[in-house]
């Protein structure tokens, strides 16, 4: 069983996070990852095994090169578009769901930090954070969550200049049930 605290530690570790990011769009070998993050391949084997154990990396494929088997690692599974896990399915896959949430939040925090540390003369942001509280019935809350998702889907742009934005929506009840 994957420990969510270990997943969080891995996601917030700069070296491990850079390894995850290096294979989010294209699977790579240990050598390719090492070259990208400016590290010796021999120093990545243990961290890679840790990330695989935590389900933050997966072996996408293996290729035999001479007498060696070269593994290609990927983290594509962490950025599935329009992922929604609720109810029984969420409870049965809680560790995966928590991993996904932590990964998404970590990515957003990194973009926000880069914005805050960027040249102050720039007048745009790449990330925003909003927190809004509303009093709703359970039905209204469910309806509003669905409306937000539908609104985002409707706003998909066909413009070649459009950029991809991620919306990580976490809404929750702030009152304890009695």
Taking only the tens place, the pLDDT of each residue in 159-178 is 888 888 888 888 888 887 65
Is 127's pLDDT higher than 90?
A: no
Residue 148 Cα to chain centre, angstroms: 20
Q: Are 97 and 63 in contact (CB under 8 A)?
A: no
> Of 76, 60, 73, 61, which Cα lies nearest the Cα of 31?
73
pLDDT at 169: 83
pLDDT reported for residue 1: 55
Instruction: Specify the pLDDT at position 144.
Output: 94
Report all structural domains of the chain as residue ranges with CATH numbers, in order of start.
4-78 (1.10.10.10)
Cα–Cα distance, 70 to 63 (Å, whole number)? 5
* Distance (Å) of CA 48 to CA 23, 73, 98, 100: 12, 9, 20, 18
Average pLDDT, the chain: 84
Separation between Cα atoms, residue 167 and residue 4, nearest integer Å = 22
Do the beta carbons of residue 48 and residue 57 sit within 8 Å? yes
DSSP 127: -
Query: Which pair of structure tokens corresponds to residue 91?
Result: 């409870």
pLDDT tens digits along 111-125:
888 888 887 777 778
**For the segment 40-93, what is each residue's pLDDT rounded down to a tens digit?**
999 999 999 999 998 889 999 999 988 989 999 998 887 655 556 677 767 777
Are 168 and 145 spatial neighbours (Cβ–Cβ below 8 Å)?
Answer: no
CB-based burial, 23-59: b 16+ in 10 Å, e otherwise: beeebbbbebbbeeeebeeeebeebbebbeebebbbe
Mean pLDDT of 140-157: 89
State the average pLDDT over residues 121-138.
Answer: 85
């Amino acid at each position: 069983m994957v420990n969510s605290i270990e997943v969080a530690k891995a996601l917030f570790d700069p070296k491990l996070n850079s390894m995850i990011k290096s294979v989010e769009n294209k699977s790579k070998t240990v050598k390719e990852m090492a070259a990208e993050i400016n590290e010796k391949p021999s120093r990545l084997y243990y961290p890679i095994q840790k990330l695989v154990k935590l389900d933050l990396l997966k072996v996408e494929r293996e290729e035999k090169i001479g007498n060696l088997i070269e593994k290609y690692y990927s983290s594509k599974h962490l950025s599935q578009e329009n992922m929604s896990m609720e109810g029984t399915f969420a409870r049965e896959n809680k560790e995966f769901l928590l991993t996904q949430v932590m990964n998404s939040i970590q990515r957003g925090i990194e973009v926000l930090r880069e914005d805050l540390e960027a040249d102050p003369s720039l007048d745009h942001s790449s990330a925003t954070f909003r927190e809004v509280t509303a009093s709703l019935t359970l039905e209204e809350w469910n309806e509003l969550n669905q409306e937000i998702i539908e609104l985002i889907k409707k706003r998909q742009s066909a413009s070649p200049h459009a950029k991809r934005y991620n919306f990580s929506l976490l809404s929750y009840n702030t009152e304890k049930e009695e």
